Structures are given as C-alpha cells and as structure tokens.
Amino acid sequence: MSKLARLFHNADDVVDAWREALRNRDVQTALDIWLDDDSITCVLPEGQRLTGHAEIRNGLERLLSKQPLFLEPIACISHTILGAAIYDTTEAVHLKADQIEAAFFLNITLVLLQDSQGWRIAHLHASHSTEDTFEAPSTLHGLH
C-alpha cells in the first residue's frame, strides 16, 4: 500500500473512491483503498477468488486493461457499526462514459473495516445480476 494513501473518515467515501478508481482505470488508487492485510479477499463476477494485494492487483490489471468501468448504483443497503461497514449494492455497469443503457448489472457486497488508516475494503464479492433479481428504475433520474 502506498505510504501516501488517503485517510477515509467515512465508509461511503471509500465506496465512492472505488467507483472512481475503476472509472479512471487507476489500479494503484483502487488497491490503496484496501486494508493493509494479507487476508483481504475479492471474488470476481466470474467466480475467481483473489486473496492478498498481489492477486487483487493482478485481477484489477486484467479487469481494467481493456476499458474503464463506470458503476452506477441502482440499489444500496448499508449497515455500519463501530469499526465495520457492509454494503450490499446492485450496480449498473457502463463501459463508456456516455453510455445510457447498462452493459450488464452486478450485485456487489463490500465489507469495510476501520483501522488506524481510516476505512478500508477488507472483502468484495461481485456477481452478475439480471433485471429479474431487482427492480430497475422506471423513471429517468435526470443525471444523464
């Protein structure tokens, strides 16, 4: 982890920084928001389980090598207690900044822990979703 990693005082900021790093294809920034621990884990939508910074770095490099990912939260439930936060989100994934319709949808579970470095990701699990598993917005939200 970079010694100059940003200190996050709010778990929501980490989730926003994760989306921004994917949008910018910034592997180092994406990795910097993970807990500085060898037991961190990430399960990719295809089912591959990554453990530790080296495997997660390699997975992020493969994931972002061809294009950025623009994640748009469709639904989010979060629970925060002292030192831990869990996010359960459904995200519309766009492959281009100006893309209106989602290329696909992901269900993402994030587990964040708070330590001396602030809030950090300890675990991320992503799986493909379909419109059958959630209610897509029926009205335009006016952001595009």
pLDDT given at position 132 = 65
Distance (Å, rounded) from C-alpha 137 to C-alpha 141?
Answer: 8
Q: What pTM does this model have?
A: 0.84
pLDDT at position 133: 58
CA 98 to chain centre: 20
What is the tens place of the pLDDT at every residue in 14-34?
999 999 999 999 999 999 999
Question: In the chain, what are the domains?
Answer: 11-131 (3.10.450.50)
Q: Whole-angstrom Cα distance, residue 71 to residue 73?
A: 6
Q: How high is the mean pLDDT of the chain?
A: 89
Are 120 and 14 within 8 A, CB to CB?
yes
Amino acid at 15: V
> pLDDT tens digit string along 68-93?
999 999 999 999 999 999 999 999 99
Confidence of residue 7 (pLDDT cuts 50, 70, 90): low
Taking alpha carbons only, the member of 7, 25, 115 closest to residue 67 is 25
Please answer whether residues 102 and 83 qualify as being in contact, where contact means their C-beta atoms are separated by less than 8 angstroms. Answer: no
3-state secondary structure of 41: strand
| Distance from C-alpha of 68 to C-alpha of 133, rounded to nearest angstrom | 25
What pLDDT does 9 receive? 80
Report residue 143's pLDDT band, with 50, 70 and 90 as the boundaries: very low
What's the pLDDT tens digit per position in 80-136? 999 999 999 999 999 999 999 999 999 999 999 999 889 999 999 999 997 665 565
Confidence at residue 140, expressed as pLDDT on a 0 to 100 scale: 54
In order of 4, 36, 38, 43, 61, the CA distances from 118 in angstroms are 13, 11, 17, 23, 25
Query: What was the pLDDT predicted at 134?
Result: 57
pLDDT for 130 equals 77
The residues, ordered by sequence, that sit 6+ positions from 10 with a Cβ below 8 Å of its Cβ are: 119
